[in-house]
């Protein structure tokens, strides 16, 4: 990517307008100014505790919103404690607070705040939903959001930009979910670190903003930095219908703009697709699975919970009933969506069809509601089907479009939605607007308030890392395989309520892989050794949860040795002073045994120098490397971002 070209693509235009550090033509890392931030409650408490410790007295961004959508189950006091803490922080620092019950952060942000041409940083990996409205919207760890709220830059690898050229028009029964599943089929869930996907071509104009947002949302599963659509007439119409015409700016790629790579999707040829268990990259056609018995169907989540999506489901179910032996749950994305469905009769249709209408929150998507039964087949419209994420380890989750979900709900078997498709839902001319559950909106960004921060017993201190020493005695505390997700490292679901209490939450690190991990790490720590995690390809896929680095840091983990590490997790490891090493020869992974002891001799010098590190193991010397910018070196040497302040 070059900065000073005459003909620019959308990514280059937005980044050039926000560049504060680095030069895209020669540096491997760029610092960008952040206009907007979002947090959600599960990552937000840590982000705000870290923000507090930075000593800044109000947010410096144009817009910062604190959403409550993940931990809304409220069994026990913990979730409610978190909500109170978040509300009091928002009031004090000039942040907009979105109360529980208002909706899911990404859907709400798209509706009410997302602005073309701006940058958005969110403590949630699906923040790229904002790419649907022409934002450069990036997911990151909570501490990065804290820095951005304090006015600091955010750092990204200088991107390579891939054009995803859309041509043609989707046929009835095929929708945006099938488009992103096609892109996932081509590029998979690993190997895309550092890329930004820009959607372009004549087919773009045929997709409404919520459909574009479904595509950029689930771009997170590719492991890219973000995905973005241009801001065009469709964007203009959406913003006007949201009563935000003044937020529109046109951002189109210049004619002749260059890309590092191009992939074309002919929308008219696309067939309904699904991601089979247990990876969003495991794509099969719906046709090939037709007739398979299904036990559960879950519709909603930040990927497919817009009015367009749920109205489409209602049209499939109109006057009909879901099959007897399938349970169907629907979670809408926002109050606006529910309001519209209530007005046009869809809510009644869904209710009469036998669907369970759920809270407009993350719920089932994160294993916090309606976990399926043992060995179930569950069709879901959300974005991740990692093993156990639904709360039931033995369940097989298939990711599908709302159309496929609805058609299958009627028979309890996987069905092709293209056989009896419904009419497409036109973009509303005017959305009903009710911002009453966004508190402190009128005073956002305006100075310190006398508000007192409310801290219940679930709000604990944030631990700080320690300076990297020259040498450590170390133990391989766990050896895991390929594609270990942050859901393996730091489970959500029933454990989610401990997010604000690191000593408590740390008890569950690697729970699905080795429930003794916590005890073993603490025993090694007491014996004076640090812990090392050994992993295969694509370590740390999935969420932005910095707890997957913060809790291991708390347990004395100082390094990860992996075949490869995913972007957000790698950044989180660095933020918490853990060295992200990769094997120079991936086959050296086989030479280390779980429980093996070794010396990390000269690790500090390696980090400060060229990142190359030799490790003596029982099976010989192995080479590790880590490519760090000067900023990243500094963070690790200090023991992490907080310790560096
Ligand atoms: C997810 O979808 O995995 C989550 C839960 O939204 C996470 C954030 C978290 O762990 O709190 C994400 O996507 O970043
Ligand atoms: Fe919530 Fe699921 Fe979206 Fe994560 S992916 S923000 S858990 S709805």
- Give CA–CA dist 403/314, Å, rounded: 10
Nearest ligand to the C-alpha atom of residue 364: 2
Range of the domain at 397: 273-409
Domain boundary residue, one of 389, 409, 429: 409
Give me the mean pLDDT over the 613-635 stretch. Answer: 96
Residues facing 622 on adjacent strands: 615
For residue 568, give the ligand 1 atom closest to its CA.
14
Identify the CATH number of the domain in which residue 25 sits. Answer: 3.30.499.10
Q: Are 61 and 37 in contact (CB under 8 A)?
A: yes
* Residue 623 β-bridge partners: 614
Q: Are residues 571 and 627 in the same domain?
A: yes
Cα-to-centroid distance, 403 and ligand 2 (Å): 20
Residue 244 and residue 225 in one domain: yes
Widest CA span in the chain: 71
Query: What distance in angstroms lies between residue 257's CA and the mean position of ligand 2's atoms?
Result: 34
The pair of structure tokens assigned to 40 is: 């959600």
Closest CA to ligand 1's atom 12 = 543
Say if ligand 2 is within 6 A of residue 382 CB. Answer: yes
Q: Does 222 contact ligand 2 (Cβ within 6 A)? A: no
Model pLDDT, residue 5: 55
Strands 29-32 and 19-21: antiparallel
Q: From the CA atom positions of the chain, what is the Rg in Å?
A: 24
Whether residue 212 is found in the same domain as residue 357: no
- Are both 259 and 393 inside the same structural domain? no
Pocket of ligand 2 contains residue 332 by CB under 6 Å? no
- Residue 416 in domain: no
* Rounded distance from Cα 38 to ligand 2 centre (Å): 14
Residue with tokens 């087949």: 377
461 confidence band (pLDDT: 50, 70, 90): confident
Q: Tell which residue, 253, 242, 7, 13, has the closest CA to residue 118.
A: 13
Residue 2 has pLDDT above 60, yes or no: no
Mean per-residue pLDDT over the chain, rounded: 96
Atom from ligand 2 closest to the CA of residue 69: 1
Among the candidates 409, 436, 452, a domain finishes at 409
Q: Are strands 226-228 and 195-200 parallel, antiparallel or unpaired?
A: parallel
- Other CB atoms within a 10 A radius of the CB of residue 450 amount to 6
Half-sphere exposure of 569 (CA within 13 A, CB side): 29
Q: Is the same domain home to 389 and 475? A: no
Distance 500 CA to ligand 1 centre (A): 15
Residues 217, 299, single domain; the answer is no
Same domain as 359, residue 494: no
Is beta strand 63-67 parallel, antiparallel or unpaired with respect to 96-98? parallel
CATH of the domain at 502: 3.20.19.10
CA of 189 to the centre of ligand 1 (A): 16
> Quick one: 204 and 307 in the same domain?
no
Asked whether residue 315 is domain-assigned, the answer is yes
Q: How far is CA 188 from CA 137, 154, 193, 385, in A?
A: 21, 26, 11, 14
DSSP conformational letter for 320: -
CA 371 to ligand 2 center in whole angstroms: 15
Q: Is the pLDDT of residue 362 over 50?
A: yes
Residues 156 and 260 in one domain: yes
Residue 293 in tokens: 């018995």
How far is 488 from 421, CA to CA, in rounded Å? 38
Residue 340, ligand 2, Cβ within 6 A: no
Tell which atom from ligand 2 comes closest to the C-alpha of 384. Answer: 5
Average pLDDT over residues 74-97: 95
Nearest residue (CA) to ligand 1, atom 4: 543
Residue 616's φ and ψ, nearest 5 degrees, are: -85, 120
Alpha-carbon dihedral sign for residues 579, 466, 531, 494? negative
3-class DSSP assignment, residue 228: strand
Question: Across residues 162-173, what is the average pLDDT?
Answer: 98
Half-sphere exposure of 61 (CA within 13 A, CB side): 29
Give a yes or no: residue 457 inside a domain. Answer: no
Measure the CA–CA gap between 128 and 137, rounded to whole angstroms. 5
What is d(CA 51, CA 256) in angstroms, rounded to the nearest whole number?
43
Token pair for residue 583?
């094997």
In a domain, 433, yes or no: no
Number of domains in the chain: 3
Range 564-577 average pLDDT? 96
Distance of alpha carbon 286 from alpha carbon 294, whole angstroms: 13
Ligand 2: centre distance to CA 383 (Å): 8
CB proximity list for 13: less than 8 A, separation 6 or greater: 117, 251
- Are 321 and 362 in the same domain? yes
Residue 182 CB–ligand 2 contact under 6 Å: no
Would 431 be classed as within a structural domain? no
Please indicate, yes or no, if residue 159 is contained in any of the structural domains.
Answer: yes
214 alpha carbon, closest ligand: 2
**Using one digit for the tens of pLDDT, what is the confidence trace for 279-304?**
999 999 999 999 999 999 999 999 99
Which among 269, 296, 314 is the end of a domain?
A: 269
Q: Which atom of ligand 2 is nearest to the CA of 124?
A: 6
Kindly report the backbone phi and psi dihedral angles of residue 148, in degrees, each rounded to the nearest multiple of 5, phi listed first: -65, -40
Q: Tens digits of per-residue pLDDT, 382-410?
A: 999 999 999 999 999 999 999 999 999 99
The tally of CA atoms less than 13 A away on the side-chain side of residue 540 is 30
Query: How far, in Å, from the CA of 361 to the mean position of ligand 2?
Result: 8
Residue 500, CA distances (Å) to 43, 490, 497, 519 in order: 8, 13, 8, 20
| Same domain, yes or no: 278 and 265 | no
Cα–Cα distances in angstroms (integers) from residue 336 to residues 103, 210, 211, in the given order:
9, 13, 17
* Residue 383 Cβ contacting ligand 2 at under 6 Å: yes
Nearest CA to ligand 2 atom 3: 302
Report the nearest atom of ligand 1 relative to the CA of 42: 11
Ligand 1 centroid vs 182 CA: distance in angstroms?
23
Which protein residue's CA is at the shortest distance from atom 1 of ligand 1? 543
Closest ligand to Cα 487: 1
CB of 126 shorter than 6 A to ligand 2: yes
Instruction: Determine the Cα angle at 477 with ends 472 and 483, to 5°.
Output: 120
- For the stretch 256-274, pLDDT in tens is 999 999 999 999 999 999 9
The confidence score (pLDDT) of residue 286 equals 98
Q: Are residues 181 and 262 in the same domain?
A: yes
DSSP state of 127: G
| Cross-sheet strand order for the sheet of 195-200 | 226-228, 195-200, 160-167, 261-266
Q: How confident is the model at residue 31 (pLDDT cuts 50, 70, 90)?
A: very high
Whether 573 maps to a domain, the answer reads: yes
How remote is the CA of residue 546 from the centroid of ligand 1, in Å?
Answer: 10
Question: Ligand 1 centroid vs 367 CA: distance in angstroms?
Answer: 11
Confidence of residue 448 (pLDDT cuts 50, 70, 90): low
Task: Report, as an integer, the average pLDDT of 184-197.
Answer: 95
Q: 555, 578, 557, 560: which is closest to 504 by C-alpha? A: 555
Flag whether 201 is in a domain: yes
Rounded Cα distance between 524 and 222, Å, is 36
Please tell me the distance from the alpha carbon of residue 214 to that of residue 417, in angstroms, as a whole number.
18
| Sequence-distant (≥ 6) Cβ neighbours of residue 212 within 8 angstroms | 131, 132, 133, 176, 199, 204, 229, 234
Ligand 2 centre to CA of 301 (Å) is 6
Pocket test for ligand 2, best of 100, 109, 304, 382 (most atoms within 8 A of CB): 382
Residues lining ligand 1, judged by CB closer than 6 Å?
Answer: 42-43, 70, 124-126, 139, 366, 492, 542-545
Please state, in angstroms and rounded to a whole number, the distance separating the CA atoms of residues 588 and 434.
58
Atom of ligand 2 nearest to the CA of 40: 6
């Amino acid at each position: 990517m070059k900065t000073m070209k005459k003909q620019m693509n959308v990514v280059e235009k937005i980044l050039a307008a926000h560049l504060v550090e680095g030069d895209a033509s020669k540096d491997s890392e760029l610092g960008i100014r952040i206009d907007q931030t979002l947090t959600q409650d599960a990552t937000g408490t840590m982000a705000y505790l870290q923000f507090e410790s930075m000593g800044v007295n109000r947010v410096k961004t144009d817009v910062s919103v604190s959403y409550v959508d993940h931990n809304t189950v409220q069994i026990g006091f913990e979730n409610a404690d978190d909500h109170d803490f978040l509300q009091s922080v928002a009031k004090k620092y000039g942040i907009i607070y979105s109360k529980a019950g208002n909706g899911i952060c990404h859907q709400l942000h798209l509706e009410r705040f997302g602005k073309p041409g701006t940058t958005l940083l969110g403590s949630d990996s699906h923040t790229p939903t904002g790419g649907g409205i022409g934002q450069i919207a990036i997911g990151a760890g909570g501490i990065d959001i804290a820095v951005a709220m304090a006015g600091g830059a955010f750092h990204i690898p200088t991107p390579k930009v891939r054009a995803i050229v859309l041509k043609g028009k989707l046929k009835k029964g095929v929708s945006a979910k099938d488009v992103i599943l096609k892109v996932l089929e081509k590029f998979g869930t690993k190997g895309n670190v550092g890329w930004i996907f820009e959607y372009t071509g004549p087919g773009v104009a045929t997709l409404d903003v919520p459909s574009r947002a479904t595509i950029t949302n689930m771009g997170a599963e590719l492991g890219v930095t973000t995905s973005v659509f241009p801001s065009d007439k469709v964007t203009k119409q959406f913003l006007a219908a949201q009563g935000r015409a003044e937020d529109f700016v046109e951002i189109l790629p210049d004619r002749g703009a260059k890309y590092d790579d191009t992939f074309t999707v002919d929308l008219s040829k696309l067939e309904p697709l699904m991601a089979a268990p247990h990876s969003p990259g495991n794509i099969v056609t719906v046709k090939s699975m037709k007739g398979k018995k299904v036990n559960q169907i879950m519709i909603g989540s930040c990927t497919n919970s817009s009015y367009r999506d749920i109205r489409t489901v209602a049209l499939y179910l109109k006057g009909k009933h879901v099959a007897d032996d399938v349970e169907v749950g629907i979670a809408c994305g926002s109050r606006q969506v529910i309001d519209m469905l209530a007005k046009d009769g869809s809510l009644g249709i869904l209710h009469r069809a036998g669907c369970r209408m759920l809270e407009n929150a993350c719920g089932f998507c994160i294993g916090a509601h309606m976990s399926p039964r043992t060995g179930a087949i569950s069709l879901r419209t959300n974005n991740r089907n990692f093993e156990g994420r639904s709360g039931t380890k033995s369940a097989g989750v298939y990711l599908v479009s709302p159309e496929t979900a609805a058609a299958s709900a009627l028979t309890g078997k996987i069905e092709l939605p293209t056989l009896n498709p419904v009419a497409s839902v036109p973009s509303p001319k005017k959305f009903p607007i009710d911002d009453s559950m966004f508190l402190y909106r009128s005073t956002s960004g305006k100075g310190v308030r006398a508000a007192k921060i409310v801290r219940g017993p679930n709000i604990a201190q944030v631990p700080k890392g320690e300076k990297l020493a020259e040498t450590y005695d170390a133990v391989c505390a766990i050896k895991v395989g390929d594609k270990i997700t942050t859901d393996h490292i730091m489970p959500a679901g029933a454990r989610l309520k401990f997010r604000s209490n690191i000593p408590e939450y740390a008890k569950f690190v690697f729970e699905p892989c080795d429930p003794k991990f916590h005890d073993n790490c603490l025993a090694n720590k007491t014996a004076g050794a640090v812990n090392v995690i050994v992993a295969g390809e694509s370590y740390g896929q999935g969420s932005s949860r910095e707890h997957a680095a913060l809790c291991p840091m708390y347990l004395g983990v100082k390094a990860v040795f992996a075949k490869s590490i995913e972007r957000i997790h790698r950044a989180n490891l660095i933020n918490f002073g853990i060295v992200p090493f990769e094997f120079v020869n991936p086959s050296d992974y086989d030479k280390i045994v779980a429980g093996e002891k070794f010396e990390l001799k000269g690790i500090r010098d390696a980090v400060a120098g060229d990142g190359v590190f030799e490790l003596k193991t029982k099976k010989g010397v192995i080479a590790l490397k880590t490519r760090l910018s000067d900023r990243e070196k500094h963070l690790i040497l200090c023991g992490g971002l907080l310790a560096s302040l």
